[in-house]
Amino acid sequence: MPLEFLKRGRSKTPAVADTGPVLLPEDVEAEDYELKLTYRAKSSHGVRMTAGPGALAQLPELLAGLGKGDVALIQPLAIETMAAAPRIVDPVQAMAWVNAHHGESPVTRHALMVLESLDALDTAFETAALGLLSGETDTAGYPEYDAVVGGVVSFWDETTGDIVVRGVVCWGGRGVRGDTERTASRHLATLLANILANQNAIGVTAAERPMPAAKTGGLVCSHCGFASAHERAFYCPKCGMRMVRG
């Protein structure tokens, strides 16, 4: 007679009762993630100045007594790096931008990133002298959100051969302070006063920045060898000499 109680019993999974569709709760518990970055920039009116080929090298002198630290002179980009832009969504442009400015200081790279992102600076044909005007930097050397970075930006007027110089300031990052804009406005007014006080200044001008041509080709300056980023340039963005057209 078999002993039923010694047999290995089979596990039976209890049937799950069909309770119908599950209703979602009205309030879902979730963790929120948010990052707010605010960047601002201001630019003054342009001032026409008569200058020779060495005028661009004298731009840092317009920041005398204003900058906290060194003033960097940023030359226009050559034609091989004309696609460089601080746009993280475009890896090709971002990598070209990093390669073009990797040798600059953190303050200079921060200023270029903000000014180029806000279209306050076009490094295809403009030369800039930039430095830290006020505020502090973090442990990596980058300006804090309430620090003001700026300087002067110039380009060659292709009609007269003069240079047009204007003041620029920028600030921002993770945070907002109401007095930062007032501080930046005071720095911008001082920059404009320094430009107008220069012995080569003619007066305030309404000349607009030139627009690059639609084509990607350019001209090579026969004086300094700089490759212009747009075909219709009459004056070299780097040395100011007239471009030789074949």
Backbone angles phi, psi at 60, to 5 degrees: -60, -20
Which residue from 67, 57, 220, 65 is spatially nearest to 154, judged by alpha carbons? Answer: 57
Residue 50, token pair as written in the block = 């008569």
Average pLDDT, the chain: 80
Q: Which residue has the tokens 């505020």?
A: 135
Domains and CATH numbers, the chain: 38-205 (3.30.530)
Gap between the Cα atoms of 46 and 114, Å rounded: 20
CA–CA separation, 171 and 175 (whole Å):
10
Can you give the pLDDT at residue 213? Answer: 45
Model confidence pLDDT, tens digit, residues 143-179: 999 999 999 999 887 677 788 999 999 999 887 777 8
Report how far Cα 149 is from the mean position of its chain's Cα atoms.
Answer: 11
Which pLDDT belongs to residue 36?
A: 84
Residues of the chain with pLDDT under 50: 212-216, 229, 246
How many other C-beta atoms can be found within 10 angstroms of the C-beta atom of residue 73? 15
Kindly state the DSSP code that residue 67 receives in the 8-state scheme: -
CA 199 to chain centre: 30
**What's the confidence (pLDDT) of residue 188?**
95
Q: Encoding tokens for residue 245?
A: 């057209």
What percent of the chain stands above pLDDT 70?
Answer: 72
